[in-house]
């Protein structure tokens, strides 16, 4: 009865339009009241949910991403990508994916990726004769590279949700190869679709132009190198690397590129504060909700339920993927990381899956959910940027869904994709 009340109140709040963070808190409060537990414990769990030092890295990562978004780094990355891979058939589609891989690895945000790169590339692709749905679909699906390629604040949230079972530096390393693999699958798909539609190739600008655009992009690219390299080398903690990365992004945009204005700086600050506030409230309320899930033994019951249906690990992992994909279509990503991790991680580890591999599988799953209706945030933003009705984008986006799904299956069933790099670094 208590579990039904917890889930029922949460579902009702979401249906009537309550923000997910508050829905989690209200549902937890109702379950605490039903069980006769002291309500003071609810607020203790809420406070303890964000009383974690490593969480201080999140506002720094978000702020660094906003500074790079508003400071002109995206344009330089696009120029480098266009010079490097724009000469293939339908090259601007591949440029779009390559740019997302570079910028996403710096900003760590799918929405920032779409907003920055989409506003640059989608109009250019339209002018070059590319269909609007193609331009939007490539932009939307490639944007989730920022979730998987480090540094990513979603990885920090996952590490928190595991209760310290995984290291953030290990997650950073585990995301590199899967992120590149997913982008390669998307690039191949973008090329195949471009050939099928008859898009032309761009002219190669020459090695000199490639060297110049690369040199211009280096200061921006070094942001990710500094953040990730600082953590792996032990020079910085994750929080310190985030702070240094934000400071470095500010110096680069102000003194090197000289592209950030006072207005853009204020916009970046306000946007970072707003995003950080939403994430922190969500984490806080999810702490109380997760406590009640544990109280009702939901993780243990989930293991028993899935193993009761079948003992085949392949089928169990497929079922977990299907559930995560369905949930990702209707709920916010950060909330699902906090809710689903304590439920499905014990199942995955019982099957012998490494927590790092599970984390990457989870992030790819939920990233795909950001691109799918009915609540696909990236899809909505991409269609708004491209001035394209959502239904038109959805009709032709399926090859890109398939590309991400192929990468997801490889990540799920080939541990080496996620674990080779962390094992090498760890050794």
- pLDDT tens-digit profile of 156-190? 889 888 877 888 888 989 999 999 999 999 999 99
Who wins on pLDDT, 52 or 198?
198
Q: What is the 3-state secondary structure (H, E, C) of the chain?
A: CHHHHHHHHHHHHHHCCCCHHHHHHHHHHHHHHHHCCCHHHHHHHHHHHHCCHHHHHHHHHHHHHHHHHHCCHHHHHHHHHHHHHCCCECHHHHHHHHHHHHHHHHHCCHHHHHHHHHHHHHHHHHHCCCCHHHHHHHHHHHCCHHHHCCCCHHHHHHHHHCCCCCCHHHHHHHHHHHHHHHHHHHHHHHHHHHHHHCCCECCCCCHHHHHHHHHHHHHHHHHHHHHHHHHHHCCCCHHHHHHHHHHHHHHHHHHHCCCCCHHHHHHHHHHHHHHHHHHHHHHHHHHHHHHHHHHCCHHHHHHHHHHHHCCCHHHHHHHHHHHHHHHHCCCCHHHHHHHHHHHHHHHHHHCCCCHHHHHHHHHHHHHHHCCCCCCCHHHHHHHHHHCCCHHHHHHHCHHHHHHHHHHHHHHHHCHHHHHHHHHHHHC
- pLDDT tens-digit profile of 332-380? 788 888 888 988 998 899 888 999 999 999 999 998 988 887 667 788 8
- pLDDT tens-digit profile of 130-140? 888 998 999 88
| Structure-block tokens of residue 238 | 């994750």
Cβ contacts of 8 within 8 Å, gap of 6 or more? none
pLDDT the model gives residue 185: 94
- pLDDT tens-digit profile of 398-425? 999 999 999 999 999 999 999 998 888 7
Whether 95 shows a pLDDT value over 70: the answer reads yes
| Structure-block tokens of residue 26 | 């209200």
Q: CB 199: neighbour CB atoms within 10 A?
A: 22
CA distances (Å), 225 to each of 51, 82, 171, 179, 411, in order? 28, 22, 15, 16, 24
Q: CB 4: neighbour CB atoms within 10 A?
A: 11
| Structure-block tokens of residue 398 | 């399926």
Q: How far apart are the first and last CA of the chain?
A: 49
Cα(283)–Cα(337) distance, integer angstroms = 10
* Pair 146, 113: CB distance under 8 Å: yes
Cα(354)–Cα(380) distance, integer angstroms = 34
pLDDT the model gives residue 106: 65
Position 58 confidence tier, pLDDT thresholds 50, 70, 90: confident
The C-alpha R_g of the chain, in whole angstroms, comes to 21
Cα(9)–Cα(12) distance, integer angstroms = 5
Q: CB 219: neighbour CB atoms within 10 A?
A: 18
Cα(417)–Cα(413) distance, integer angstroms = 9
* Pair 371, 145: CB distance under 8 Å: no
**What's the whole-model pTM score?**
0.83
For the chain, which residues make up each domain, given as ranges? Answer: 2-426
Position 427 confidence tier, pLDDT thresholds 50, 70, 90: very low
* Pair 285, 31: CB distance under 8 Å: no
Cα(150)–Cα(169) distance, integer angstroms = 9
Whether 107 shows a pLDDT value over 70: the answer reads no
């Amino acid at each position: 009865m208590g579990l039904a009340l917890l889930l029922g109140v949460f579902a009702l709040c979401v249906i009537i339009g309550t923000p997910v963070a508050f829905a989690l808190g209200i549902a937890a409060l109702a379950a605490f009241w039903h069980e006769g537990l002291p309500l003071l414990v609810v607020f203790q769990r809420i406070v303890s949910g964000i009383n974690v030092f490593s969480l201080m890295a999140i506002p720094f990562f978000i702020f660094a991403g906003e500074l790079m978004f508003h400071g002109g780094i995206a344009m330089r990355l696009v120029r480098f990508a266009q010079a490097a891979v724009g000469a293939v058939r339908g090259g601007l589609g591949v440029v779009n994916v390559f740019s997302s891989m570079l910028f996403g690895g710096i900003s760590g945000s799918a929405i920032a990726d779409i907003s920055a790169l989409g506003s640059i590339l989608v109009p250019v692709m339209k002018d070059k004769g590319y269909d609007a749905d193609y331009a939007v679909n490539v932009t939307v699906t490639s944007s989730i590279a920022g979730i998987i390629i480090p540094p990513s604040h979603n990885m920090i949230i996952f590490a928190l949700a595991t209760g310290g079972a995984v290291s953030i530096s290990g997650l950073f390393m585990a995301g590199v190869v899967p992120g590149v693999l997913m982008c390669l699958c998307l690039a191949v798909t973008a090329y195949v679709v471009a050939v099928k539609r008859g898009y032309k190739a761009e002219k190669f600008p020459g090695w000199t132009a490639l060297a110049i655009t690369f040199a211009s992009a280096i200061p921006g690219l070094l942001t990710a190198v500094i953040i990730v390299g600082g953590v792996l080398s032990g020079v910085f903690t994750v929080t310190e690397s985030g702070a240094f990365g934000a400071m470095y992004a500010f110096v680069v945009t102000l003194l090197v590129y000289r592209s950030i204005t006072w207005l853009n700086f204020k916009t970046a600050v306000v946007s970072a504060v707003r995003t950080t506030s939403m994430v922190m409230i969500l984490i806080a309320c999810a702490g109380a909700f997760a406590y009640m899930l544990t109280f009702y033994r939901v993780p243990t019951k989930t293991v028993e339920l899935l193993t009761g249906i079948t003992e085949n690990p392949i089928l169990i992992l497929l079922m977990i993927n299907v559930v995560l994909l369905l949930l990702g279509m209707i709920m916010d990503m950060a909330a699902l990381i906090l809710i689903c991790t304590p439920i499905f991680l014990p199942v995955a580890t019982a099957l012998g899956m490494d927590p790092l591999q599970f984390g990457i599988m989870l992030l790819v799953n939920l990233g795909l959910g950001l691109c799918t209706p009915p609540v696909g945030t990236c899809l909505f933003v991409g269609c708004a940027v491209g001035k394209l009705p959502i239904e038109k984008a959805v009709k032709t986006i399926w090859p890109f869904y398939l590309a991400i799904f192929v990468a997801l299956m490889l990540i799920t069933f080939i541990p080496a994709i996620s674990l080779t790099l962390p094992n090498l670094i760890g050794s």
